[in-house]
Chains A and B, each alone.
Chain A
Amino acid sequence: EAGVAQSPRYKIIEKRQSVAFWCNPISGHATLYWYQQILGQGPKLLIQFQNNGVVDDSQLPKDRFSAERLKGVDSTLKIQPAKLEDSAVYLCASSLATGSGNYGYTFGSGTRLTVV
């Protein structure tokens, strides 16, 4: 099966600019996650979708970050305006269902964002 697709792989922007990342999960995976991985730290969940609904966005900086999954398939994550501290790798992952047993995650390769 195809993996989780993310684009772009790399992005360099100036602070205060906007940027968007795209993720296409594995076909049939109802749950989609966006994680932020700052250099030297473990990934941190930003937002979790179940189909096209938000399950958890408690750690999403909503003043500048937004995400959507309108048709319950692919998703976009946007930052506007970007700050220097947003420099990180943004990882998308998908799984079959929320709260289900031991369904594993599949991660995409990530988008490396550098804000200068």
Chain B
Amino acid sequence: AQSVAQPEDQVNVAEGNPLTVKCTYSVSGNPYLFWYVQYPNRGLQFLLKYITGDNLVKGSYGFEAEFNKSQTSFHLKKPSALVSDSALYFCAVREPYGGATNKLIFGTGTLLAVQP
């Protein structure tokens, strides 16, 4: 069964510093991996995805993620954090193309708190 793990409930970082939000996955076959962000009282917003190709994926708002097959990880990164980046971040995995469904399996989320 597919799953993702986000080992940190919360990440604290000072504004201007680099940030990393960790995600590891377990899936048979080639994974499709996603990052979503959720602001208070808002729905989930898509940040970026890895399907194939370059291991470094660039997404919205200056975020990027690095796919590492040997470590089964897909960590979210940003070189310089902003206070406005403070939100709840979810990693997700879905079945590769050709699966019966394309449902997303989400991690438990990591709360990112950026201090001014």
Taking Cβ atoms with an 8 Å cutoff, the residues of A that contact B are 4, 31, 33, 40-45, 48, 55-56, 91, 93, 95, 98-110, 112
Q: Is the interface of A mostly helix, strand, loop or mixed?
A: loop
What number of B residues sit within 8 Å (CB to CB) of A? 27
A106–chain B nearest beta-carbon distance, Å? 8
Residue from the list B42, B90, B101, B106 in contact with A55, Cβ < 8 A:
B101
Residue contacts A-B, CB under 8 angstroms, 22 given: A4-B43, A41-B109, A42-B92, A42-B108, A43-B90, A45-B103, A45-B105, A48-B101, A91-B43, A91-B44, A93-B44, A98-B100, A99-B95, A99-B99, A99-B100, A101-B51, A102-B32, A102-B51, A102-B97, A107-B43, A109-B42, A112-B41
Contact A98 B101 (CB under 8 A): yes
**Could you say which residues of chain B place their CB within 8 Å of the CB of A108?**
43
Contact A102 B49 (CB under 8 A): yes
**Could you say which residues of chain A place their CB within 8 Å of the CB of B46?**
104-106
**Could you say which residues of chain A place their CB within 8 Å of the CB of B97?**
99-102
Counting chain B CB atoms within 10 Å of each CB, the highest count among A102, A104, A108, A109 belongs to A102
